[in-house]
Structure 1
Amino acid sequence: MADSTGSISTKAGPLDVANIVSKLMEVETKKTLPALVNRGKSISTLISGYGNLKGVLATYQTAIKGLTPASFSSQKAVLTNASSATNATTEPFTTDINSDDSTKSQAQKLKSAAFSSNKIFTAGDSVAIKIGGGSPTFVTLTADATLAGVRDAINRSSAGVTASITTADDGDHLVLESQTGGTGNTIKIAANNSLSALAYDPSRAVPTTMTEIQAARDSTKAASGTYTVDVLQLAQAHKITSARMAPGTTFDNGILAIKTGNGSTAIIKPATNSLAGVRDAINASDAGVLATIVSSSAGEHLVVSAKDSGATNTLRITGTGSFSSLSFDPRGTITLPAVPTNQTYDSGSLRLTSGENPVDITPTDTDGNGTIDLSDVMKAINTANNGVTASILNDGAENRLVLTPTGTSPVSLKGTQSYADLKGSSMGQLVKAQDAKISIEGVVVTSPSNKVKNAISGVQLNLTKITTSTDKFTLNISNDTTGMTSAANTLITAYNNLLKSVKDMTKQVVSKKLGEASQSAPLAGETSVKALMSQLRTTLTASVDGGGKTSLAQIGITFQKDGSLALDATKFSAAVTNDFEGVSNLFSSKNGVVTQLQKLTEDILADKGIITTKSKGLEGSQALNTSKQNAVNDRLNNIQDSYTNKFNRLNKTLASMGETRDYLTDQLKKLSAR
C-alpha cells in the first residue's frame, strides 16, 4: 500500500478539502472495493463449508471403515449345560470366533536360493512378475546391481509384491511376498540371464530354486455346528520356591543358570550378592521367567515362575557354590555327588530339611555286616519319613544317592564328618507345568495355553474351569443374524446422518415476501457436493456380481422419497435366514457395497480427492482476491493523495485571490478618499 503524500488543511482557503475529498473517495471506493470484499466473504464461507463437509464425510468414513467383513459374516457361540446336578459347572470357558489369523486370507511368500554377498546381477537383465490373472510387470536392471539393488528395483516397480532380504549361514535370500492375500493372488516369475534363478512357475515342469515358504490362503470362517466339550485340565505355568532364607543371606561364589523348556540357558549375574540382587538379575535376563521375593517374619523365599504355561515350559535351575540352594531339576529329583561303591561312614550325622521341618538322621548298620554304607543311609532317610524318598543310582562304577520329594516343599540334605560329601538341595515345586486338556466330540486335545486355538476351526476357547463328570456341555456355533442386522443398521444410520448434514449445508430458503432476501446455506448450489452425493447413492444402488444377492433392494434396504435409506426388517430377516452367505457377500465381498463405499470415501477424502482439490482451488481464489483488494487499496490511496493535493492547491489559489481582491479594494478606497 502506498504512503499518503497529501495533507489536508481547512485553514488554507475557503474550501473544506477534507469533506470534499471524503465525498469523492466514497464514490471511488464504491466502484470496485465492495464487490471484492463481498467476493472474499463468499469464498471464506465456501472454504468453511467444505471444511465442515470434510468433517462429516470423515465421520461417515469412520463408520464405514468399522464395518469389516467380520461385521457381515459374524457368528455367535452359545454354551449350554444339560446337566441336572445342583453343583453343575457354570461357564468353564468363553469363546472367540474368527478372532485369530487362522481364518484370515494369507499372502503367498517365496524365497530364493542363497546368494553370496558379493553376487552382481547384470544391467539389462530382467524379471517379469505376475500376480494372479493380472498382467506381468517387467523389472529391468538399469545398472549392475547387488541383491539389495534387485530388491529395491522390484519394490520401485509396483509389481504387487514386497521384496526383502534375509541372511542365513548359507548366504542372502531374496524373499517376495504378494501384497494381496488369497489363492487368486499367487506369484509367477519369468527371469533371464543373471536373474534366471528367480524364476518361479509351479505349473511348468521347469526346475526352479525359488521355494514357497508360505502358501496363499483364502479367508474362511468357523465351522457352524454343535460340539460336546469337556475341560479336563487347565494349563499351568511352572512355579517353584526356595527354602526359607535368613534375612541378609548372601551369594558370594558359584554360578546360577536358568533354562526354560527348550530355550537357551541364561547365566544369571547379580549386580549385588543379596537375594534382591539375584531376583533383579533373573528378571533382567532373557530366561523366560519372573522372580519375586516373598517375605515373612521367619525369613525370605525366592519364587520363580515361568512366563508361559505348558508342559514344555518347565524350569531347570542349576546352582553351584552359594547358589546351590536355588537348584531345581524338572524331574523332581536331587542327585547327590557320586561316591565309590565301597564307601562307608563311621562318624557324623545328616540333617534332612523338607520345607520348614528339619530332621537329624544318624544312619545305623541295618544289614549286620558291621559297616554303614550308602544303602544304610538310604534306609535311614526313608525311615525318617520327612517328605523325601531316597534311592540309589548305580552307573557301574559309582553310586549316587537320589532324593525324590514327595511333596511341594524345598528339600535339602547336609552331612557332617564322614557324611560331609552327602549334600544337595532343591527348590520346591508350587505349581506343576502342564498343558490344558479338553475333549471335543470325544477327541482329546492339548494346548500349552488356556487359550485353545483352532481345535474347532476358527474358534478360540478361553478356558477358566475344569468340568466334572456330571456336566454335559455343548457348544453351538451358528451365523449371527443379530450381528448382521446391527451392521446393516450402522450402514443405514451413517448414510442418513451424512445426508442430513449435507442437506443442512446446501439448503436454500426462497423468500416469499417482496424485498426480503432469500436465505442460502454455505454450500447451496455447489455442483461438487451434488456430484459426490450422487456417487454415494449410485454405489448404494449398484448391482454386485459374485452370486447370491446382487442389490441392497433385494434384502430390504431402499431409498425413501426424502433420499434417506430405510430397512424393511421382515424382508431383511428373511434374506439373512435363507441366504446368510449371499447377504454377507453383497456387503463385504471384493466388489461388495461396503467395500466399494470404503474405496469411494477414501478417494473423495484423498489428497487429490474432490474435497481437497476444491478447497485448494478456493484458497487460491481467496489469495488472488486478497491481492486484488490490496491493489485497489493502493490505487485508492494514490487517488486520495491526488485529490487532496489538487484541492489544497486550489484552496491556496482561492485564498491568494481573496487577498488580492482585498488589497485592490483597499487601494480603491484610498484613491476615492483623495
Structure 2
Amino acid sequence: MAAITSPGIGSGLDVNGLVSQLVAAERAPMDNRLSVIEATAKAKLSALGQIKSALAGLETALGKLTGNGALPGRKSTVPDAASFSASASADAVPGTYSISVEQLATTHKLRSAAAAPTTQIGYGTLTFQVGSGTPFDVTIDAGKGTLADIRDAINTQASGKGVFATLIHGNSGDSLVLTSGTQGSAGALTISASGGDNGLSVLATTGGTMTVVTPAQDAQVIVDGVTRTSSSNTLTDLITGVTLTLKQADPGHSFTLQIAPDPGSLKASVQGFITAYNAALSAIRTQSAAGGEGKTAGALSGDATARGIMQSLRTTIGNHYAELSQIGLTTAVDGSLSLDDGKFNAALTANPQAVKNLFGDDADFGKTLRDVVHNFAGSQGMLDSRTSELNQQLRSVNDQRLALNDRMTRLAEVYRRQFTALDAFMAQMQGTSAYIANQLGASPKA
C-alpha cells in the first residue's frame, strides 16, 4: 500500500487543525501569564517616567533658586533717548549713574581708489599686520593683479588671519574694501607692498591711496566723571552687575541709569518652584491612586517607591514649615503649596536675603530638598533602579516567550507525528475493511 504523504487524506482526519488547537490550549496559560506581567511592567514604566519627569521639573525649579537666583533681581531704567541700554543682575547695587557715550568702538575698514575691472593694479607681495600681531604676506602673481584677483588672493592666503576683502562695484569702477576681523584700536590694519612692479604700493596704508572708511577706534564712555575705553561696545565689567550696551556716540550728553530692586523675578522663581512641587505631588498621587468606588487604580497603586517619594517630599516641607510660612508659603490639606504675595513682599522688604536663607546653596531646607529629589530622580537614583528592574523583567518575559515558542514548535511536531501515524493507521484499517467487505460480497451464496 502506498505511504500517506498528506495528513488527513487517508482518513479524513484534520491533523493540522487538531495540532493547532492542542498547541494553542497548551500555550494559553503561560502566554496569558506573560502578557499580564508584560502589560503591568510597561504600565509601571510609564508611571515611573511621568513621576521622574515631574521631579526633574522640580529639580530645575530648585536650581533657579541657587546662587544669585535666590536674591531679589535688579531693574535697570534708562531714558528712551539714551545712547546706551543696560541690564542688571542681582549683583548690581541699587543707585543712579550719570553716563555719556563719547565714541563707539569701530572696526578698521579701508577702501581703495576705483579702477576698471580689467585694470592690472600690479604684482608682488602685500604684507599685512593686524594691530600688534605677527605680520603675514599675500603674494600677487604677475597677470593676476586686478582688484578681483587681489581680493581672491587675500581671502585665500589670509584666511583665518583677521583680514577680509570684498569689492564694491561703483559708477567709477570697482573698489577693494578691506575689513579687520578685530574691533577697536587693537584691530588696526597696516599694509605695505614690496617686490614686483611696485604697482601694489597704492594699497599701502603709508604712501598709498587707501581711504579710511571707519577708523580702528575704541569705545569711550564716561560714568560719573570716570573715563573708560573698550574695544567692545558691550561692557560687562564697567559697573558691577551691570551690562552696558553702547548704541550711539553722543559726546557731552549724559543720561541717567537707575538700578533698583526688582522682587518680581524672584517671586516668579518661587512661584515656579511651587508649581513644580504641586505638579510632582499630583503625578505621584495619580500614578499611585488606590482606586475603588468607580475610580481607576494607578499603575503604582500600593507601590512602596511612590509612597516613599510622597512621604519624603511632604516630610521635608513639614520640617521647615515655620520658615516657609514666614516668606508666605502655605500648604493645603493635600500637601500642595501656595504663596501669599503680600507676606512674601513684606518678608523681602524686611530681609532681602530671606529666600536665599531658605533655598540657597547652603541653606538647610534647599539643600535637603534638592538631595531628596536627586536621590529619587537623579542619575542612578531610586527611579532609575526601579526602571532597570522593570526593563530586566521585560527582557525576561521576552526570553520566556522565545523559550515558549521553541517548546510549542517541538510539541507541535510531536503531535503532528502522532496524528500522522494515527491517520496512516486509520487509512490502513479503512483499506482492510474495504477489502474484507469486497471479499465477503464476492463469496458464493449457500
Q: What TM-score range do you get, normalising by the shorter chain?
A: 0.7 to 0.9
1:622 pairs, out of 384, 394, 397, with 394
For residue 226 of structure 2, what is the aligned residue in structure 1? Answer: 443
Return the alpha-carbon distance in structure 2 between the equivalents of residues 606 and 78 of structure 1: 38
CA separation of 1:539 and 1:266: change in aligned 2, threshold 3 A: farther
**Partner-residue secondary structure (3-state), 1:479:** strand
One-letter identity of the residue aligned with 1:261 = G
CA displacement 1:574-618 (0-9 Å, x = unmatched): 122222223234323244756665555555444522222212211
CA separation of 1:620 and 1:245: change in aligned 2, threshold 3 A: same
2:37 pairs, out of 36, 39, 43, with 39
The answer to whether structure 1 residue 502 and structure 2 residue 284 are counterparts is: yes
For residue 299 of structure 1, what is the aligned residue in structure 2? Answer: 173
1:527 pairs, out of 297, 304, 313, with 304
For residue 98 of structure 2, what is the aligned residue in structure 1? Answer: 228
Shift of 1:534: 3.5
Shift of 1:485: 0.8
2:384 pairs, out of 589, 612, 626, with 612
For residue 84 of structure 2, what is the aligned residue in structure 1? Answer: 93
For residue 308 of structure 1, what is the aligned residue in structure 2? Answer: 182
**Partner-residue secondary structure (3-state), 2:36:** helix
CA displacement 1:467-509 (0-9 Å, x = unmatched): 465x552222233201101111121222223333333333243
One-letter identity of the residue aligned with 1:34 = N
The answer to whether structure 1 residue 572 and structure 2 residue 344 are counterparts is: yes
The answer to whether structure 1 residue 326 and structure 2 residue 207 are counterparts is: no
The answer to whether structure 1 residue 290 and structure 2 residue 164 are counterparts is: yes
CA separation of 1:619 and 1:80: change in aligned 2, threshold 3 A: closer
**Are 2:125 and 2:140, in contact at CA under 8 Å, matched by a contact in 1?**
no
One-letter identity of the residue aligned with 1:587 = F
**Partner-residue secondary structure (3-state), 1:248:** coil
CA separation of 1:668 and 1:498: change in aligned 2, threshold 3 A: same
Shift of 1:464: 0.9
**Are 1:49 and 1:505, in contact at CA under 8 Å, matched by a contact in 2?**
yes
CA separation of 1:246 and 1:19: change in aligned 2, threshold 3 A: closer
**Are 1:239 and 1:430, in contact at CA under 8 Å, matched by a contact in 2?**
yes
**Are 1:542 and 1:551, in contact at CA under 8 Å, matched by a contact in 2?**
no
For residue 268 of structure 1, what is the aligned residue in structure 2? Answer: 138
The answer to whether structure 1 residue 432 and structure 2 residue 215 are counterparts is: yes
CA separation of 1:656 and 1:578: change in aligned 2, threshold 3 A: same
CA separation of 1:234 and 1:31: change in aligned 2, threshold 3 A: closer
**Are 2:76 and 2:87, in contact at CA under 8 Å, matched by a contact in 1?**
no
**Are 2:104 and 2:218, in contact at CA under 8 Å, matched by a contact in 1?**
yes
The answer to whether structure 1 residue 452 and structure 2 residue 329 are counterparts is: no
One-letter identity of the residue aligned with 2:292 = V
| Higher mean displacement: 23-32 or 279-288 | 23-32
Shift of 1:462: 0.6
Shift of 1:228: 1.9
Return the alpha-carbon distance in structure 2 between the equivalents of residues 621 and 325 of structure 1: 80
Shift of 1:309: 3.3
CA separation of 1:578 and 1:670: change in aligned 2, threshold 3 A: same
| TM-score calculated relative to the size of structure 2 | 0.79
Q: How does 1:179-198 map to 2 (within 5 A)?
A: none
Q: Report the RMSD for the aligned CA atoms in angstroms.
A: 4.2
CA separation of 1:667 and 1:496: change in aligned 2, threshold 3 A: same
Shift of 1:455: 2.0
Structure 1: give runs of 5+ residues left out of the alignment.
1-6, 82-88, 99-219, 330-423, 513-517, 544-548
Greater helix share, 1 or 2?
2
Return the alpha-carbon distance in structure 2 between the equivalents of residues 61 and 527 of structure 1: 22
| TM-score calculated relative to the size of structure 1 | 0.54
One-letter identity of the residue aligned with 1:301 = S
Q: How does 1:250-265 map to 2 (within 5 A)?
A: 250-265=120-135
Return the alpha-carbon distance in structure 2 between the equivalents of residues 482 and 45 of structure 1: 41
Structure 2: give runs of 5+ residues left out of the alignment.
none
CA separation of 1:16 and 1:244: change in aligned 2, threshold 3 A: closer
For residue 560 of structure 1, what is the aligned residue in structure 2? Answer: 332
CA displacement 1:97-149 (0-9 Å, x = unmatched): 34xxxxxxxxxxxxxxxxxxxxxxxxxxxxxxxxxxxxxxxxxxxxxxxxxxx
The answer to whether structure 1 residue 72 and structure 2 residue 70 are counterparts is: yes
Return the alpha-carbon distance in structure 1 between the equivalents of residues 288 and 190 of structure 2: 73
**Are 2:77 and 2:259, in contact at CA under 8 Å, matched by a contact in 1?**
no
Q: Using the aligned pairs only, state the percent identity.
A: 30
**Are 1:239 and 1:304, in contact at CA under 8 Å, matched by a contact in 2?**
yes
CA displacement 1:304-328 (0-9 Å, x = unmatched): 3333333444332223411211122
Return the alpha-carbon distance in structure 2 between the equivalents of residues 301 and 668 of structure 1: 123
One-letter identity of the residue aligned with 1:97 = A
Return the alpha-carbon distance in structure 1 between the equivalents of residues 241 and 345 of structure 2: 25
- Higher RCO structure (Cα 8 Å, ≥6 apart): 2
**Are 1:266 and 1:285, in contact at CA under 8 Å, matched by a contact in 2?**
no
CA separation of 1:666 and 1:318: change in aligned 2, threshold 3 A: closer
One-letter identity of the residue aligned with 2:202 = S
**Partner-residue secondary structure (3-state), 1:566:** strand
Count of equivalent residues: 434
Return the alpha-carbon distance in structure 2 between the equivalents of residues 64 and 12 of structure 1: 79
**Partner-residue secondary structure (3-state), 1:489:** helix
One-letter identity of the residue aligned with 2:167 = I
For residue 242 of structure 1, what is the aligned residue in structure 2? Answer: 112
**Are 1:541 and 1:552, in contact at CA under 8 Å, matched by a contact in 2?**
no
CA displacement 1:616-655 (0-9 Å, x = unmatched): 2112222333444454565566667667777887898899
